[in-house]
Structure 1
């Protein structure tokens, strides 16, 4: 499984909003600048996120985007599925094994379905709030406090 730039940039942008919004709407231009992503590309990503009801938007000079629900209620899995579709290590895992079991069906059941379950369990267990806290923790380690 390889995530596209749409999934990676979308997740980064969602964490950016969770980190910086404080309940306010954030202009896409600010997100694009902070994350070094094309604003035009983010418009496409956020159109999809809005349709999936993960963000809400307001037009105008004070407009922008905000999370549609608390960061603690949005999982990485929700964001990635909205942008990428179902998360699967192979493209054909939705096919049910045939009546006569063959080696391919054995591998599908014993390996790919289990890997998919694990991937989905991981991304569904991590929230945007978890990523914000991890980001803050990582940055706190590199913040030096000099007292004179």
Structure 2
């Protein structure tokens, strides 16, 4: 599993908006400048987040984007699932994957399912609020 640029940027945008909630609707240009992301690329990411109702958008003067919920209600897992094709560690666990012909005798399937669960549980256990208050050096979680 490799998190794409789109996934990483989506998290940065969401954290940025969470940190500036008091400012109301934030223009796309402002977010792009603060995060050092091209407006054009950011537009495609924001569209996904608005479509999923994680963000609200307002057009015109004074418009922009804002969170639709409190930062504590967004999990990293929910954001990354929108931007990534798959979060599965192996292809046989991807959503909609055909059942592998070897699954009945696969000695590693339980390992991959366990890893998939650990990843999912971990990402679902971290919120935007956690990221807002985290030292950039990293988390102190043990898996």
Q: Same fold (TM over 0.5)?
A: yes
SS in 1 for 2:12: helix
Q: Which residues of structure 1 form unaligned runs of 5+? A: 140-148
Q: Which residue of 2 aligns with 1:12?
A: 12
1:74-114: CA deviation from partner (whole Å, max 9, x where unpaired): 11011101111442112221444658722xx2212x21111
Mapped partners of 1:81, 1:99: distance in 2: 27
Any unmatched runs of 5+ in structure 2? 138-143
Name which one, 1 or 2, has greater alpha-carbon Rg.
1
Residue aligning to 2:140: none
Q: Give the match for residue 132 of structure 2.
A: 132
Larger fraction in helix: 1
Is the partner of 1:8 in helix, strand or coil? helix
4+ residue stretches of structure 1 with deviation over 3 A? 94-100
Q: Which moved more, 1:84-93 or 1:116-125?
A: 84-93
1:101 match: 104
Tell me how many residue pairs correspond in the alignment.
134
Q: Work out whether 1:115 is the aligned partner of 2:115.
A: yes
Instruction: Provide the TM-score with structure 2 as the length reference.
Output: 0.85
